[in-house]
Chain A
Amino acid sequence: MSKNSAVQKRHSVLAADGTRVAGVQSRMEEEFLLEALGWMMKSRLYDQRVIALQRQGQFGVYSPGMGQEASIIGSAMAVDPARDWMVPQYRELMATVHHGLPLEVISAQYLGKIGPARIPEGVKVLPSQVSIAAQLPHATGLAWGLRLRGEDAVVLTYIGEGGSSEGDFHEALNLAGVTQAPVVFFLQNNQWAISTSRRVQSATPSFSLRAAGYGFEGIEVDGNDVMAVYDVVVTAVERARAGGGPTLIEAVTYRMSFHNTTDNPSLYRDPAEYQEALRRDPIERVQKYLAGLGLWDQGREANLTDELRHEIDSALEAAVAAPLPGPSDLFDNIYAHPPERVLRQRAELLDGQV
């Protein structure tokens, strides 16, 4: 068997030029697609806004989702915030907002706020995770536990192609296969782990093929095609909910900005490759497609952009206005019953008592 015979077919609905792929149906039709477009635009506008703030020293180190909006939003729209759980890495901020995490709350986290950055009760989102792939065993355990508790819930968790090299990726997917946990592993292959190319990350022709080793289905999808992403994630979520176990989805996309605000891609990224990636912009293709249907034009774009900027600014203002932590926050929320020694340390810091 040649290596190439293992290459996955990549699911696609909407081509890069904004035309529909012939003969492929989608469950994300026009009104819903307009909603998706709004969320994708919000994601990009938020990224642009907070990168500008970060450059002025007014926002923390930030990893934008630019270029990956179709993956981020298409996946998030496939789960039900009322009953399903989302277990993020960190680049899919707007997916967690779609799932109910208020934008001012997640913004407050980047501003060093503590209490105001707490995920509200009832919002079924776990904290973003900086330790790569460490969230995946949590997602498997959460999904397994929800099933044991008799809940009708599915867990959607995020990882990158770089994260798939971690041991936790293997362990979490293996355990999910064995337990048939209702979890969807959504792998965004954005081609870069900081400066490390996808080619260095693995010799596999498709990360989705790895699912075969765990006894469940792996699907490859055009991660810049929000309709295709939605369709494959919805199918995986339905299967998980019906007791059919996990799915690994590889969304093939491109990181159109940088790893985070400390990164400089000009040191390692081929400009020609980058220019080529820009032609596959996930937002522009939806706008072109909807314009062709008479559902989108410059006036609507300007109106929605204004509306979203206003919403983003309001959220950022609320996050800025939220109180900064004080020294007692250092000791809060570590233990339900703190050890005596920790209580003494707290008193020492707060009161100058030893």
Chain B
Amino acid sequence: MPERNIVEAINNALTEEMERDSRVMVLGLDVGKLGGVFRTTTGLVERFGGARVVDTPLAEASIIGASLGLALAGMVPVAEIQFLGFSAQGFHQIGPQLGKYRQRSRGRYHCQVTIRAPFGGGIRSPEFHSDAVEAQFVQTPGIKIVMPSNPYDAKGLLVEAIRDPDPVLFCEPDRLYRVGRSEVPDGAYTVPFGKASLVRKGDQITLVAWSAAVELCLRAAKRLEDEGISASVLDLRTLVPLDLETLCSEVARTGRCVVVHEAPLSAGFGAEVSATLMEQLFYDLDAPVVRVAAYDVPFPAASLEDYYLPSLERVLAAVRKTLEN
């Protein structure tokens, strides 16, 4: 079976979906000849032409807003926002417009739109390139929020996103784009939304994460194994829809949970996970749920990001503290 990294998996998903369905088109900044700043769209314009692979003006609100209109015309747009941090300049077209369009039209219209956006720290990016703002979109119902952590899921979840009749925000972990290859089959397959993945099974504690933080949790679990601690790692894969069943059953099994994310602590999605577990599992928990997150300061200069982002040491410390209880 072919092996691909996340960039190649995304490119493969886009190519196959554009091949399968002539309504699928890609638009955004530099997605044409350059193939995107991370090369996720390499080769698409040569293969499918400039009408379906479109370098747009540098304007996020109209990339997203025009995608809504394109969808109403019967196209299936896959829009790229070059970095999720720049979604702020199109925020009103995501939640308030895309997310609300089915409702505000009383079901007459729906928006089959996928917005792809790389994000995340750890690659020494300039300002606004790294911000993990995924939780902001959880507060705009109507948008599905997809956070793949590995090549297989990246392809399967992207195919699912493109085929979903409703808008999907697909956040790509740029730090993991090229860290390694793993098995990604040729040909279409989907990974369903709302199905968390137990990427490592342990007995004493569950580490809950999504996107690049899953990789951090896997490193932590390996270190903990050396110390004789058996940790599970649960990859939520999608924040909306949230797989409540797997989250609750897995944490109930171990009785302990640490949630890890790159977004600032306060009102991050970890708060949602923690509150959900409190409500659902209070008597099954052996210790309070602990969150490991970025600090409540704006994303700093790259020279400071290692202090800002959740580190292996902070995850290990949180696990040890949780196990003391």
Contacts and interface: CB of A to CB of B under 8 A. Distances in A.
Interface stretch (A90-98, A170-178, A242-250, A275-283): A170-178
Nearest to B112: A336
A154 interface: no
Contacts of B51: 148
Q: Which of B62, B74, B241 has most A Cβ within 10 Å?
A: B62
A316 B61 CA distance: 37
B102 A333 contact: yes
A174 B56 CA distance: 10
Interface in A288-327: none
Interface stretch (A40-48, A136-144, A201-209, A232-240): A136-144
A332 interface: yes
A137 B103 contact: no
A114 B104 CA distance: 9
A138 B96 contact: no
A171 B102 contact: no
Contacts of A336: 102, 110, 164-166
Given A333-B102, A333-B107, A149 B75 contact: yes
Contact of B108 (A118, A134, A175, A334): A118
Given A134-B96, A168-B61, A340-B244, A175 B106 contact: no
Interface stretch (A72-80, A119-127, A255-263): A119-127
Nearest to A123: B108
A339 interface: yes
Contacts of A168: 61-62, 65, 92-93
Given A131-B96, A334-B141, A138 B107 contact: no
Interface residues of A, number: 42
B146 to A, nearest CB: 12
A129 B50 CA distance: 31
A160 B96 CA distance: 20
B59 A175 contact: yes
Contacts of B57: 171, 174-175, 178
Contacts of A127: 104-105, 108-109
Nearest to B54: A179
Contact of B69 (A114, A144, A333): A144
Interface string B111-154: 00000000000000000000000000000011010000000000
A115 interface: yes
Contact of A140 (B69, B109, B164): B69
B73 A167 contact: no
Contacts of B144: 335, 339
B69 A335 contact: no
B73 A144 contact: yes
Contacts of B109: 126-127
A3 interface: no
Contacts of B312: none
B242 interface: yes
Q: Which of B68, B96, B110, B141 has most A Cβ within 10 Å?
A: B68
Given A174-B57, A333-B106, A334-B142, A141 B241 contact: no
B72 A142 contact: yes
B216 interface: no
B66 interface: yes
A38 to B, nearest CB: 28
Nearest to B89: A167
Nearest to A330: B103
Q: Which of B25, B104, B108 has most A Cβ within 10 Å?
A: B108
Contacts of B74: 145, 149
B196 to A, nearest CB: 12
A69 B103 CA distance: 30
Given A131-B96, A175-B66, A336-B165, 15 more contacts: A117-B106, A118-B107, A119-B106, A136-B65, A140-B65, A141-B69, A144-B69, A144-B73, A145-B73, A172-B62, A333-B103, A333-B106, A336-B110, A337-B164, A341-B241
Interface of B: 25, 51-52, 56-57, 59, 61-62, 64-75, 77, 92-93, 96-97, 102-110, 141-142, 144, 164-166, 194, 240-245
5 contacts: A115-B106, A126-B105, A178-B56, A334-B142, A340-B244
Interface of A: 114-115, 117-119, 121, 126-127, 131, 134, 136-146, 148-149, 151, 167-168, 170-172, 174-175, 178, 332-337, 339-342
